[in-house]
Every structure is written in C-alpha cells, then in structure tokens.
Chains A and B, each alone.
Chain A
C-alpha cells in the first residue's frame, strides 16, 4: 500500500509539475477531490446494494437485454479491482475496456464517463483505493446468449460510442461549460433521461428529453418550458437537486436515490452550472398540446375522484404544500408525454427524497387497492388537464400494464 501511495504522489506531482513552485501535493487533496468525483459519478447508486458495504457490488440491473450485476469495485484483490492498474481503471471509465482487456457493457456509463478529464478519473481512482476492501465475488454478466458475449460490445461501440474528453465551447460561459461537463460526463444524466435506441444507446437529437426506466419515467430535463425545466429558475433547480424538493416537485423513485446519494452533496456552484446548462439544452417544441376538455366524461369522473381522494393533500387547485405535497398545477412531471411515473405513484405510492435541508420524507400512499384501472386513468387524465395543465389522456390499458 505504501508503494501505491508513493506512486500516486509521484503521479500527482508530475501532473502539477507545470507550476513554478510545485511541490508534492498532499495526497489527501487527491482523495478529497476523488471523493467528490465519486459523488458526481454516483458510483454507489449501482455498485452498492442497500445495507451492504460501500461499492462492494450492487443489486441486479434489469435491462431490456437481460440482467447485469454491478460488480464489486472495492480494492479487494480477489473479488474487487485491487489488481487493476490506474491505467486499466482509466481505460474502463473512458474506453469501456477494463482489466485484461475485458469489455464492459454500457450499463456502466462509459459513453458518458469518456468525457471526464484524466485528472478527475485519476482522483476517483485515488479515492477508491481508500475504500474498505470487501471480499464479495460478483458475476456481473447474467445476460443470455448472444448478449453474454462481451466481444459483441466491440460492434456496439462502433455503432454508438464516441470516445473522447469533453471539449469546452469557447462561445459559452465557463459556468455553462462546467455544467455541460458534469451533465454529459461524470453526472451521466442522460443515462436515465435520454431516450434509447434499439441497441440501448442514446438516441441522437433528443438528449435529456425523457425516457422510461425501471417502471418510472425519467422526465424531460431540458429547457422546454412546458415539460422540461425551462420555466424553473436556476435557484429552483439548485434547490431541487440540493434538497430533493422545490415548490414544483419532490424527487421520488430513482431520482430520490440520485438526490440523496449524489446531487444533495454537490457544491452549490456545480448545481448552478448544471441548472444553466440543462436549461440551455433544446428540448423540442414547448407548445402545449390541446387539453382534454373539462366536460369530457373521463375528466368529470377523474375530477370527482380527485376531490375525494387527492385534494386533501394536493389541494383543490393542485397547489400542494411546501416540502410536503408536490404541486400538480404547472408541474412538468405531471405533463410528460408518458404517465408512467404518475401511474406508479398512484398504484404503489412512494416515499419522497430526504435530505438534511428537507428531512420530512413525505410519502404518497398506495391507492392501487382502492382505484381500478379506469379510475386511475381518469384521475390522471384529470390532473394532466386541469389548472392550465395539458397532456395526453391516460388509458386504462396503460394502468393495467403497470399492475
């Protein structure tokens, strides 16, 4: 271990060698920076199972191609990445090729991490060396034939993967560039929020415009003012990422984890940079669709269910309550093209994000036992088309699929 520290220190010294009064920097700086990179990249989201030791291997990821189990990435020599070199680690993150030339599956978001700087990846490496080594053998590849052939990723990469570091746009502000660097790189927001093509790769031209995953719909987070975050102020976006809630929304589902494990611990400057950048991303037309008419029978039925079951918390005008009940009026989440998240919330309930700044942890109760498919569809159609909201009606068949 001593040997390793020494070589790291030398490497860091080499990197900062350009400074006139360069001295071997305290290795603690690297590790602290690396810890921040681990928050940005949110390694734990996939590589730590609930209740298990950090980074010792995750819960199975269900992909359209089969299951993958996020491996143990602690420095354990037998079952973790203790035998890896720094170069192999860098290659894994930026090229999708790990120890001994083994190809990674892009569930590991190397198509995003490739944009990270070598410095940031090296810092992350330094930090991971300090994590407690845990012996936990994980067979990552649970895919069926032919997807279980790792070499097939060579073809996938040819089709879908453009390696290369982030290139700042000199025409934009440093803040915008920082935001783009985080969102497209370490933050890998598109992994959830960008629609995927048939091979599971990001579709072109629809970056961050919303996608389905694990029974939820990761909403449009572009500058679209109707269904994106274009109508939110920078401060409101920062507040959402920092605390898990703002006056428009409360993080739930997979975003609850992302807020709790990652964004709530990022610097305010980085969160502001993220806000500036995502608001600048083109999110498709912001025109509102035509709202379903208030006298539509499904709207009327939905309205009665809303008054009876939902209004006590979300309010007769859909305004909600601070840090407790999300507003429905004007909510981009409510008006996504897909009602998948809303359906999930009504059927099964959900607990909101909890952070030091907003510890309430309010929950939506499950109502699937009480409302049938038609009723869920009607009440969702109602909230998607009331108080100025406008979105496609929800069909009972969509609800049935979710049960």
Chain B
C-alpha cells in the first residue's frame, strides 16, 4: 500500500552538502523543494553538545554518526574472479548518515582539482603518449578549471575556507600553492595558526627545494559570517574533527553554513528517517516521475516531483540508479555501459618520524590544520622519465592527539604490555607524521554493480565494489614514497618508518572515504552517465550530484570539487534548465 503524496517541484535525495546547496539555490529560484533524508535530523547544540561531542569511544570507535551496515551494507572483492562478500562493519571507508551527511564528520580539507585533472585524457596522452596510459580508462570530465572557478569560489566563501592563495589571476602568490590554477581572489580567511609539527615539516621541505603551503581548511581560523549571513566561531583546535560533529560552530557543514537559512524557508521541507527505495520513471523511461520512499514505520510513499536530484553519498547515488534502471549498467568485460564505470579510490601512503627531543603537543590540532606540498601531485611535475602517471599531495596535518587512536610507537615495540605503554608515553608527543594522498586512476576492471547474492532489509541487491589498486597507481605511490623517505631522512631524527601502498586492497582497515565515480560526468554519453552539468544523459529531469561524477580521483580530498560541481549544477538549472524543463542541456 503506497500513499501518493502531493507533487513537489523538486525532490532531493539526501540532505548533506550537495543536497543543502541545491535546496538553497533552487528555493531561491522560488521552487518548492523537498529533501528526503535516510538518517536523523542533527543540529549543533542538540546533537553535538559541547558536554559530550568529544567522546572518542562513542564517535570514533563506535562510530555513532556513520551509516551502519544493518541499514545498508556493501559487498567487496578485488577482481572479477573473486566472489564478493558483504562487510559486517564498514572499515576502509565510513559513509555518513543523517542531515549534513559525511560533511558533519569530515576533517575539512578543501581543495580545487587541477585543470590537468579535468582534461586528464587529453593532457596525459598529448604529453606522454597513448602507450603510457593504455592500462587506464582515463576520460576528460567535460569541464575545465576556468569554468568551475566561480563555483569553487562560491563554495569556499560559503564555507569560510582558511588558506593562502597561490595564484590570483595568474599572479603567483608567495606562501600559497604555486601549482594551483588561477583563482579570482584570496581565500575568505587567512590560514589557521600553525602548530609545531607542520611548521617543522614546512621548514624541512622548503630546504629541500619543495613548496609547502598551509592546507586549505574548513576549520575557520577567525570568526566568520558567510554570504548567507550565517556566523561561525573561530576554531579552538580541540582536535575532534574527523568522525565528530563540531560543537563550536567552527567546522563548515550544511548545519553551520546553510541550514539556518534554508530551514526557515516556506518553500523548503525535509523529511528525515525516510529512505528512498527507487526513482520512478514514466513509460518512456526518459522522465523521472518522482521517488518512492519508506519511513521508519515501514509505510511506503510515492512522492511525485518535476525534478529529482540524487544528492546521496556517491556510492548510494550509483546504487539508486542501478536499482531504478536508469542508464546502462557498466560491463567490465566489454567496457560498455556507464553506470558503475570508473570507480576510483585513493592511493595513500604514510611516514612517521620519531624524535627524541621534540614536543609537538599533538592534542592542539584541527582536521585540516597543517601543511601540504603539491610538487609531486597530479601532473604538476614531469613524468617524462617515469613509468607512471598521477601523483600525490604530501600532507603534514596532525589532525588530533586523541587518547585511544593516536598511539604512535616506533618499530620493534611490543603490541601490548608495560613496554608498549612506556613506548606510547615516549612517542606520543615526539612523533611527526605525514602522508601521501595519491591519485586513483580508473581501469576497466574497477567498477560498481549490484551484488547477485546479497540483499538489504527491503530485499534490494547490495552494491558490489570491485576494486584493486591499479599497477600504475602502485608504481606512482612507490615513487612518491621514495620522495617521502628523502623528506623523512632530512629531519635527522633517530628513526623513521615509511608505510608503502601494496597491491591487494583490504576493505578492513580505515584508509579513506574518498570513493569516487560510478556515475561519471563527461563529454560522451557512451562513456559517462551524466553530462557536464551532472544531468543524466538518459533521464533529463534527473541530476546526479556528488563525487559519483568524478571521472577519476585526484591526489586531493574531494569535497571542494563536490561543492563546486553542486554550484555548477545549480547554476545550470537556474540559468538554463528551468527555461526549458525536461530537455537535455547537452545533446547526446
């Protein structure tokens, strides 16, 4: 028994960063907008109460804010020859749930991708020849940096990003990232005050001829009032960002930058604890009629709408498309089909340097308080004499000194007992860590589809992730690890450890929640699910917004680009789509 509800102009699936941005923009346009959110309502003082927000056991270990596998699990395998199995706990990545989505519990690194990323296929083929990239399934994104600049800018000003520009209108700025593409103006806020570890890292790498700069942070360095008139408070550097909601209105999220304005609009509504089961299409299959969702009492509703915006987590966007029969599912054997194509991840590596005589006070920290260098990232350096493409941002961002999880010990330390305790005491304050966040490039065999065996509580197939690190990415990561070793050595400390990325992705230990692709944007409807405005090639009144649109993943955190793409889509809907609704913005 499905209750049919009165129609809405727009229904949005998921109220995280992208859902909130689109809702804010489209309600400004006068449209009647409904967001349907699977998880609960959450707000700062009621859910991230300063009296308990910094509870590491509850939030970091027991993962109170995350999606639980009982709600939706996934199955994993490394390649086509294996049988995927469902996880009992999310491990390698931790999707969000509830209003604000993963934007509630992120660290706040807010990047722009390079123009050479958006034009990756053209650029790498022209620069290094087709042979170099033949094992990869690289595609251009259909947009360029210059086109996205104003949308990046809008997101950064919304979120009060604290950073230092490296290139303003073509002029290289001292202290910023010299490899970035031109931006139109400075960041809205200056960088966070540096703590000791990143300061030391910057000195060391600068003396090696590298170009460290402050990581652009969504932890506000000063009190800030954003363009919507919403105030944020200066970050106190408590070191409880990733896995936590911010109790101090200091970390940018839908809650701290959009919802105070959006929730008061008469033409906006959110229904929480309501899970969208599928997007309903009309008989032609070319138009979405709305969505069917179920509430916590198991009651089913059909919500008709003129437009449907998929704004869930990237992986969930892809699954909902597959469950709704939208687009042609990708087939790794033929390389044909689009939905599930070009799933990518992140190719990370780490280094730890153990000192005798330093005190880094690691508990003074923020999720994005640190230094980065892009000298070895993307195509910022010449790969002419090398055997790979891609690269990594190298980050010294000591995000926290939390007592349960931050327990660095040098090699040779026992795993438990008195000696382990003593070692953690010795190393806690005197260890410097830095990491490589490596690009992840698509191959034919890495993809997403529906699992043939395992189903969720509604009987719908789970999403199946087939992924292993491509050989190119392993070669890239090893080369970057060599560079990290040079940096680690240069500190002259008593000991250092390099953790290298190896083949054989393991879904258990946490690595990164930067899952990208599966509903990628592009120039060609044969190789992409959505056009450059993230409009479905197949269903014109459906837009699919999020990192699901990334044609590959760069050596950078995705949120900045996700925010820019959301504004790019909102702009296209407001300026173009609404003049001629239901029509493709790009002809296939």
Contact = CB atoms under 8 A, between A and B. Distances in A.
Contacts of A356: 229
Given A312-B50, A313-B233, A364 B45 contact: yes
Nearest to B222: A321
Interface stretch (A80-88, A266-274, A365-373): A365-373
B45 A349 contact: yes
Contact of A362 (B46, B49, B236, B249): B249
A322 B231 contact: yes
A309 interface: yes
A365 B236 contact: no
B261 interface: yes
Interface in A163-203: none
B49 A365 contact: yes
A361 B255 CA distance: 11
B45 to A, nearest CB: 3
A242 to B, nearest CB: 13
Contacts of A312: 50, 236, 238, 247-248
Chain B, interface size category, equals 20 to 34
A324 B249 contact: yes
Interface string B38-65: 0000011110011110000000000000
B23 interface: no
A367 B234 CA distance: 22
B146 interface: no
A28 B89 CA distance: 66
Nearest to A322: B223
B502 to A, nearest CB: 41
Contacts of A325: 233
A66 interface: no
Contacts of A309: 50-51
Contacts of A367: 49-51
Contact of B50 (A324, A359, A365): A365
Contacts of A362: 44-45, 231, 249
A323 B260 contact: no
Interface centre among B225, B231, B248, B264 (most CB of A within 10 A): B231
A322 B225 contact: yes
Nearest to B47: A365
Contacts of B52: 370
A354 interface: yes
Nearest to A367: B51
Contacts of A321: 223, 231, 233-234
Contacts, number: 70
Interface string A319-361: 0011111000000000000000000000001010010111111
Nearest to A368: B51
A358 B238 CA distance: 27
Given A323-B225, A324-B223, A358-B229, A363 B50 contact: no
Nearest to B263: A361
A70 to B, nearest CB: 25
B255 to A, nearest CB: 11
A312 B50 CA distance: 9
Given A321-B223, A322-B223, A354-B260, A363 B230 contact: no
B425 interface: no
A366 B44 CA distance: 12
Contacts of A323: 225, 231
A354 B228 CA distance: 13
B232 interface: yes
Nearest to A358: B229
Contacts of A358: 229, 231
A359 B264 CA distance: 9
Interface in B229-272: 229-234, 236, 238, 247-249, 260-261, 264
Nearest to B52: A370
B239 to A, nearest CB: 12
Contact of A357 (B44, B229, B248, B249): B229
Contacts of B225: 322-323
A364 B43 CA distance: 12
A360 B260 contact: yes
Contact of B228 (A324, A359, A370): A359
Given A365-B46, A366-B49, A313 B229 contact: no
Given A312-B238, A322-B223, A323-B225, A361 B51 contact: no
A366 B51 CA distance: 9
A356 B228 CA distance: 10
Contacts of B223: 321-322, 324
B231 A363 contact: no
B44 A313 contact: no
Contacts of A360: 229-231, 249, 260
Interface centre among A309, A323, A358, A364 (most CB of B within 10 A): A323
Interface string B410-425: 0000000000000000
B46 A363 contact: yes
A367 B49 CA distance: 8
Interface string A9-26: 000000000000000000
Interface centre among A351, A356, A361, A366 (most CB of B within 10 A): A361
Contacts of B51: 309, 365, 367, 369-370
A323 B249 CA distance: 12
Given A309-B51, A354-B264, A359 B229 contact: yes
Interface in A358-395: 358-367, 369-370
19 contacts: A312-B236, A313-B249, A321-B223, A321-B231, A321-B234, A323-B225, A324-B223, A354-B264, A358-B231, A359-B264, A360-B230, A360-B231, A360-B260, A362-B44, A362-B231, A363-B43, A363-B45, A365-B46, A370-B52
> Which 6 A/B pairs are nearest by Cβ-Cβ distance?
A363-B45, A323-B231, A365-B45, A365-B49, A324-B231, A321-B233
Interface of B: 43-46, 49-52, 223, 225, 228-234, 236, 238, 247-249, 260-261, 264
Interface of A: 309, 312-313, 321-325, 349, 351, 354, 356-367, 369-370
Given A312-B236, A365-B49, 7 more contacts: A313-B248, A321-B223, A321-B233, A324-B233, A351-B45, A363-B43, A367-B49
